[in-house]
Structure 1
C-alpha cells in the first residue's frame, strides 16, 4: 500500500470521525437525557465490530477487503454532506467509520511503511482543517464543497486501486507497533497536537480583557497560524526523522509526556507549549515505533505468498483495530466525565504513557523510517509553509470597536448547544440568522465549544463572531475550551470570571462579567449557565451568581443573562428576584424556551437591575439549537 493512499485514507477517516463523534451526542443522545454509559456502549460497538476485519483479510486476502472498504469509506464520506441529519447522518457516519476501521486493518496487512502514511495523514488532516477555518466541508453543503469532497474521494480510490502490496518482509520485529499507535495518535492529535481550534483558543487568552478570560485576536494577527504551523512542522519533522537508538531512546517520549501533563493542568497559559511539545513528542514516538530493518524476503515478493497467510500480518491488522479501540475508550473516558462527573485530566496523560511504552519497547529502525519520502526536511518545511498559508488565507472578520450611539441596548441570550441543531448538523447559518435577526448590541452565549474533538474540533465561538461581525469575550467553565461568552461591537472596558460551586453537577459552571460602554452609559453584562446538581435545582449557584454580579456591578446598571436551568417560581429563580433583580421577560410570559421543537419550559432568562426597563421580549422560533434564544431591549428608566 502506498504512503499516499494510507495518508489520504487517514485523512478521510478523521473527516468521518468529525461527523460521527458529535452525532453520538446530538442524535443518538438527547440533551443529557440519554445515559452516558449507553452512548459509550453504542460508540464502542462499532469499534468492536471491526475486530472481525483481520480474520476476513486472512480469509479472502487484503486487496479485495481494501478495495471494498475504501469504496464504502469514500462513498459514506461523500454522502455525509448530503444527508439531512438525524438518523440518516448517524448511520451513514457509523457505516463510514466501520468501513474506515476495516480499511485500516487491511492496510496494516499490506503497507510496508506505516509511519509515513500515519504522520502525513494526520498532518494533512490538520492542514485541511486549518484551511477550512475548522468548518469541515461536510457542514458547508454547497456545490464547491461537494466537488472538493468528490475529488478527494476519487483520488483516494484511484490510489488504493493502483497500490500494490510492497516487497519488504512483513514479519519484521515490531511491525505491529505503529498500527497499535494509530488510534492513540489520532486522539492526541485531534484533541491537542493537531487542533487549529485549540491553537486559536490558546492565543485568544493572550487578548482577554480580564484575568482568566479570552478575547478576539486583533485583525491581521498571525499567532494562531504560527502555532499551528509550528506544531505541524514539529510533528512531521519528528515523525520523518531518524529516531535515536540505545539508551537515548528513553528520552524520546519526554516532550509528549510533558505536553499532555501541561494540557491536563487546564491552565490557559500552558496551552501553547502543550500543543508544541505534544506534537514533537507524538511524531518522535511514531518514528521510534517504525519496524526494525530485516534481511530481504527469501521468498521474493511478500505479495506472492498472499497477505492472508502471514501470522505477523494478521497481528498487524488486530493491532490497527486495537489501537482504534484505545481511541474509542480514551474519547469516551475523557468526554463522559462532563456527564458523569469524575476527573478526566489523566486520560491524555495515560494515552501518552501508552504511546511512550510502545515506542521505547520497539526495536526501532536502523535507517530513516520513511524511505518513500527522500527529503524529510523538505517535506517538513513544506508542511509548515502550507499550514501558514492555509491559516492566513482564512479571513479574520473581527471588526473594530464601535463607538456607542445614544439609545437602548438590544440583548440576546442563547444556549447554542456547541453549534449543533436538533437535526444533529452543525448549523452556523441557523444560529447566526436567529441572533442577527434581533439586531443585537450584546449577545450572551452558553454551551460554547472551542476545540472539543467530540464536537468536531471547531472553534464555534470564532466562527459565530466572524459571521456576526462582533468581538467576543470568553470564559471557561468545564475546561479552557468550553464555557460561556459575550459578543458585542461596543467597547469592553474590563472583564472578570468566577467559577461556581459544582455540588455534584458534572459540567463546570462560571459567571462572566463584562463592563460595556453603551448608548445608555456604562453597563455591566453577566453571562452564565447554571448547572443543577442531580435531582435538585441550581439554588447554590444562583446565590453565588447574584452575589458576584451585584457586587461586581456595585450599583451600576446590570444585565444578567443565560441558561439558568430553572423556571419562574422555582427557588433558584427566586434567588434573583429576591435580590431586587427584575425578570426582563415577565411581560411576554409564557415564553417557553426548551426543547426548541416543542418548548414547554422557560429556563433561559434575562434579568435587569432596578433603574432599567425591559421591552420587546421575544423567543424567536428555530431548531438551530435545542434551546430558543431570548431577546429584550434594555433602556434606562426615563424621568
Structure 2
C-alpha cells in the first residue's frame, strides 16, 4: 500500500478589500521577522567575540620573613593559610629561604606551593647558610618564561633581584608578572638605581604588567615618584600601611600596573594578619581588558 500525502487544505478566499500586494506582504512578514531575529543573534555573537576579553585577578604580595612570625615561630602552614584564605590567583613572596640551616633545610617556596596547591618558581638572590635566599612567584596557572633579573648593588651589600614570568589564565590573554624586593639601607642610592633598572626592564613596552613587592620606599619618595611615571599604584585610592605587622605605619609594599588603560582596580586590602610575618600582606583585585574600552 502506498501512503498518500494528506490533502492540502484549501486557502480561504481572499477578502475583496485585500490587494495582492498586501497579501504578499502579510505572508512574507513572518519570514522577514525570522531573518531579522537570526541576523540580530549573529550580530550579538560577533560583538561579543570582538569585545575585550576580561579576566579578574586576585593579586597578593607578601614579605614572609623566611617563614618566621613576630612570635618567633617558623610556621609555613600559617602563612599558607593566609594565602589560601585570600583566594589569591598570583602571589609574589619576598625573603624566602631555600634549604638553609636556619629554616631546617626546607625548600620554602616548594612547600608553600604544595600547601596552597599553586604553581611556583623560585629566584635566588644569594647563597645563604648552605642554601639560598630569594623570592618566589606562585600562580594558579603555569609560570612561563621565568627569569631572574639581578639589580644594581653599588655598595656590594645584600644582592637584590627581580623575578618575572608570563602568566596566561585559561582561555584568557597573558600578562607579565614581576616580583621584587629593593634595598633596605638608609642610603637610597642602591634603591634609586634598582628602581631605574626596573623601569628599563618593565616600564617601557606595552606588555600588560603587574610589578609587586616590598619596595622599601614610601609613596612620597623620589624613588616611588619615578616608578609611578610608567606605573600606576593600584592602592592609591585606598592607601594603607603594611609594615611593621603588629602596628603598621609604613606603606612600603606595592602593586604597580601598566599600561594604566589596560587595568581596572576593583579593590585593595591590607590583610589584618599581625603575627605570621613582620609585614602584612597586600591583596588587590583587578580586571585586565585586552582592548580599548
Give SS of 2:210's match. strand
Matched, 1:450 2:120: no
Distance in 1 between residues matched to 2:105 and 2:117, nearest whole Å: 22
Equivalent of residue 542 in structure 1, options 175, 186, 195 = 195
Contact 2:125–2:159 under 8 Å retained in 1 = yes
- 2:263 and 2:145 map into 1 onto residues whose CA distance is 21
Please tell me whether the aligned partners of residues 505 and 532 of structure 1 are also in contact (alpha carbons under 8 angstroms).
no
Q: Which structure has more strand as a fraction of its residues?
A: 2
Q: Where do 1:142-221 residues align within 5 Å?
A: none
CA contact (8 A) 1:408 1:635 kept: yes
Q: For 1:587 and 1:429, how far apart are their aligned partners in 2?
A: 32
Task: Give the secondary-structure state (helix, strand or coil) at the position aligned to 1:414.
Answer: strand
1:351-430 aligned within 5 A: 407-430=55-78
Q: Is the 8 A contact 2:57 2:89 kept in 1?
A: yes
Does 1:529 find its partner at 2:192?
no
Shift of 1:506: 2.3
Match of 1:607 in 2: 256
Residue 593 (str. 1) matches residue 247 (str. 2): no
Deviation track 1:312-366 (CA, whole Å, cap 9, x = no partner) reads xxxxxxxxxxxxxxxxxxxxxxxxxxxxxxxxxxxxxxxxxxxxxxxxxxxxxxx
TM-score of the aligned structures, taking structure 2 as reference length? 0.74
How many Å separate the matches in 2 of 1:534 and 1:599? 19
> Does the aligned pair in 2 maintain the 1:491–1:516 contact within 8 Å?
yes
Structure 2: unaligned runs, 5 residues or longer: 1-52
Q: Which residue of 2 aligns with 1:498?
A: 149
The match for 2:288 is 636
- 8 Å CA contact 2:120–2:143 kept in 1: the answer is no
Cα drift, residue 505 of structure 1: 5.9
Deviation at 1:573, TM superposition (A): 0.8
Cα separation, 1, equivalents of 2:184 and 2:69: 23
The 5-angstrom pairing of residues 110-509 of structure 1 reads 407-479=55-127, 481-504=132-155, 506-509=157-160
Pairwise CA distance, 1:429: 2.5
2:164 is equivalent to residue 513 of structure 1: yes
Instruction: Tell whether the 8 Å contact from 1:504 to 1:533 is kept in structure 2 after alignment.
Output: no
Residue 237 of structure 2 is aligned to residue 584 of structure 1: no
**Residue of structure 1 in register with 2:34 after alignment:** none
Shift of 1:536: 2.7
In the alignment, is the contact (CA less than 8 A) between 2:119 and 2:142 conserved in 1?
A: no
Contact preservation (8 Å) 2:61, 2:212? yes
Distance in 2, matches of 1:415 and 1:432, equals 13
CA displacement at 1:574 relative to structure 2: 1.2
Shift of 1:616: 1.3
Secondary structure (helix, strand or coil) at the match of 1:588 reads coil
Compute the displacement of 1:457 (Å).
2.3
Distance 1:525 1:556 in 2: 10
Structure with the bigger RCO (C-alpha within 8 Å, sep 6+) is: 2
Deviations 1:230-285 (A, max 9, x none): xxxxxxxxxxxxxxxxxxxxxxxxxxxxxxxxxxxxxxxxxxxxxxxxxxxxxxxx
RMSD across aligned positions (CA)? 1.8
Moved more, 458-467 or 593-602: 458-467
Counterparts of 2:265 and 2:227 in 1: how far apart (Å)?
A: 16
Aligned length: 231
CA–CA distance in structure 1, aligned partners of residues 160 and 166 of structure 2: 20
CA shift, 1:615, in A, is 2.1
Q: Are the aligned partners of 1:504 and 1:534 in contact in 2 as well (CA < 8 Å)?
A: no
What do the CA deviations read for 1:580-608 (whole angstroms, capped 9, x no partner)?
2100111111x100000000001110101
State the 1:533 CA deviation.
4.0
**What SS does the aligned partner of 2:266 have?**
strand
Q: For 1:505 and 1:416, locate their aligned partners in 2 and report how far apart those are by CA, in whole Å.
A: 24
Q: Which runs of 5+ in 1 are unaligned?
A: 1-404
- Which residue matches 1:624? 276
TM-score by length of 1: 0.35
